[in-house]
């Protein structure tokens, strides 16, 4: 069978989902004995969403992905791959993506989880773009996390930041030359491996000799801040250079929604104005890999993504892993 060459890729559908329960920063401050305004002043987060007890990551991802598929309006049989970026899968084994594809009724889709922490969706998008160009088939790219069950409620460094949400896009072939991912820079720095961890959740046993569910630990917050900002800014410049573009060509800048200070610091280092920066962190907090597709979908109604627009995505998180991608609509 001869395949028609794929000139480019396009985002054919957008979807996002946030649980109904809202937890305000004031509530968390009261529980931690902090003064009112402490969290907003340091993170810019006013409130975040928390999953209901019956909800799992597959439920959040399903809600966002179902919307993206409906928005795309393409046959489900056209989806050749489902990628789910998550750090909080339903179970460590098996992966959650096959369940998601099954629930969505995708009969001919491969499916796999990607555990790229906060950069998971960025990695998945770059990989999906290559798959679409190679096979001519569409990809469902979803990201979902339930981090509220992994934070230590007595630790302000995690309780103040993390949230639950999901986002998804359908990436499909496009006849337009130069559309899709036109530049990327994927980065990692394992010397920061232990800065952000859920230490008791894998094959490396804890100090007690047992692996367990575990709570998230964030060490050296200032170091995390400076290294994340540096990684994102450097990756953005490299990705733009690969694309043959400059920062002036960027129409929309979408950094991982870690917190408002990091978003502002990266944008200022790059010289990108607030008007070009997409953000949802104030109302939805940090849902790790889900923040990028969630924000992209949630702001679509107010930020028209037009043909030829240049979207610059950046992320950095646990690992350390991160990078940037340039996507042309």
* pLDDT for the residue 292: 98
Q: What is the mean pLDDT of residues 235-241?
A: 98
**Which residues are CB-neighbours of 82 under 8 A, at least 6 positions away?**
65, 97, 100, 101, 104, 106, 109, 110, 111, 112, 139, 140, 142
Q: Are residues 186 and 167 both part of a single domain? A: no
* pLDDT for the residue 211: 45
Residue 1 is assigned to a structural domain of this protein: no
Where a domain ends, among 174, 196, 214? 174
- Residue 254 banded pLDDT, cuts 50, 70, 90: very high
**Which residues are CB-neighbours of 209 under 8 A, at least 6 positions away?**
none
Is residue 70 pLDDT above 70, yes or no?
yes
Strands 310-317 and 252-255 come out as parallel
* pLDDT for the residue 74: 95
pLDDT in tens, 186-230: 999 888 887 777 776 677 766 555 544 577 777 767 888 889 999
Return the percentage of the chain with pLDDT > 90, whole number. Answer: 79
Q: Is residue 81 within 8 Å of residue 128, measured between CB atoms?
A: yes
Q: Are residues 187 and 70 both part of a single domain? A: no
| d(C-alpha 86, C-alpha 65), whole Å | 14
Residue 289 is assigned to a structural domain of this protein: yes
Of 35, 38, 86, which is closest to residue 61 (Cα–Cα)? 86
Residue 155 is assigned to a structural domain of this protein: yes
pTM value > 0.85: yes
Q: Are residues 54 and 201 both part of a single domain? A: no
**b/e map 184-194, b = 16+ CB within 10 Å:** bbbbbeeebee
Residue 64 is assigned to a structural domain of this protein: yes
Residue 2 is assigned to a structural domain of this protein: no
| d(C-alpha 91, C-alpha 281), whole Å | 27
Range of the domain at 133: 8-174
Helix (H) / strand (E) element for 32: namely: helix 25-32
Residue 96 is assigned to a structural domain of this protein: yes
Stated length of the chain = 329
Q: Are residues 137 and 188 both part of a single domain? A: no
Q: What is the mean pLDDT of residues 87-104?
A: 95
| Local structure of 256: helix, strand or coil | coil
pLDDT in tens, 35-61: 999 999 999 999 999 999 999 999 999
Q: Are residues 164 and 185 both part of a single domain? A: no
Is residue 34 pLDDT above 70, yes or no?
yes
Q: Are residues 300 and 225 both part of a single domain? A: yes
Q: Are residues 158 and 200 both part of a single domain? A: no
Q: Are residues 261 and 194 both part of a single domain? A: yes
Catalytic positions: 118, 256, 286
pLDDT in tens, 149-199: 988 888 888 889 999 999 999 999 999 999 999 999 999 988 888 777 777
Q: Are residues 17 and 164 both part of a single domain? A: yes
Q: For residue 328, what are the β-bridge partners?
A: 180, 310
Where a domain ends, among 129, 144, 174? 174
**Sign of the CA dihedral running 39, 41, 43, 48:** positive
Q: Are residues 59 and 102 both part of a single domain? A: yes
- CATH number for the domain that contains residue 157: 3.40.47.10
- Residue 258 banded pLDDT, cuts 50, 70, 90: very high
Where a domain ends, among 174, 205, 234? 174
Quote the number of domains for the chain: 2
- Residue 5 banded pLDDT, cuts 50, 70, 90: confident
Residue 128 is assigned to a structural domain of this protein: yes
| d(C-alpha 246, C-alpha 3), whole Å | 34
pLDDT in tens, 259-290: 999 999 999 999 999 999 999 999 999 999 99
Torsions phi, psi for 103 (to 5 deg): -65, -30
Q: Are residues 153 and 168 both part of a single domain? A: yes
Q: Are residues 23 and 166 both part of a single domain? A: yes
* pLDDT for the residue 224: 84
Q: Is residue 179 within 8 Å of residue 329, measured between CB atoms?
A: yes
Residue 322 is assigned to a structural domain of this protein: yes
């Amino acid at each position: 069978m001869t395949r028609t060459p794929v000139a480019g890729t396009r985002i054919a559908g957008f979807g996002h989902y946030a649980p109904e329960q809202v937890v305000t920063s004031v509530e968390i401050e009261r529980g931690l004995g902090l003064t009112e305004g402490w969290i907003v002043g340091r993170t810019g987060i006013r409130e975040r969403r928390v999953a209901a007890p019956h909800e799992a990551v597959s439920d959040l991802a399903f809600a966002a992905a179902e919307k993206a598929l409906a928005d795309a309006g393409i046959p489900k049989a056209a989806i050749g791959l489902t990628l789910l970026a998550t750090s909080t899968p339903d179970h460590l084994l098996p992966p959650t993506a096959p369940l998601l594809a099954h629930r969505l009724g995708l009969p001919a889709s491969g499916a796999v989880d990607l555990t790229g922490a906060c950069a998971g969706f960025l990695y998945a998008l770059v990989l999906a773009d290559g798959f679409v160009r190679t096979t001519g088939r569409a990809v469902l790219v979803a990201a979902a996390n339930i981090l509220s069950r992994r934070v230590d409620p007595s630790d302000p460094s995690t309780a103040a930041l993390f949230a639950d949400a999901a986002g998804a896009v359908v990436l499909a072939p496009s006849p337009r030359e130069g559309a899709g991912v036109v530049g990327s820079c994927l980065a990692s720095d394992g010397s920061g491996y232990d800065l952000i961890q859920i230490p008791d959740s894998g094959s490396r046993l804890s100090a007690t000799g047992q692996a367990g569910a575990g709570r998230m630990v964030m060490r050296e917050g200032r170091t995390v801040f400076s290294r994340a900002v540096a990684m994102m800014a450097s990756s953005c410049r490299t990705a733009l250079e690969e694309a043959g573009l400059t920062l002036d060509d960027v129409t929309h800048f979408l950094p991982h929604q870690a917190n408002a200070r990091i978003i502002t610091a990266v944008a200022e280092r790059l010289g990108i104005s607030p008007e070009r920066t997409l953000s949802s962190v104030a109302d939805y907090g940090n849902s790790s890999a889900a923040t990028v597709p969630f924000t992209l979908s949630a702001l679509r109604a107010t930020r028209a993504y037009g043909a030829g627009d240049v979207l610059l995505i950046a992320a950095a998180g646990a690992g350390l892993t991160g990078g940037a991608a340039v996507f042309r609509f």
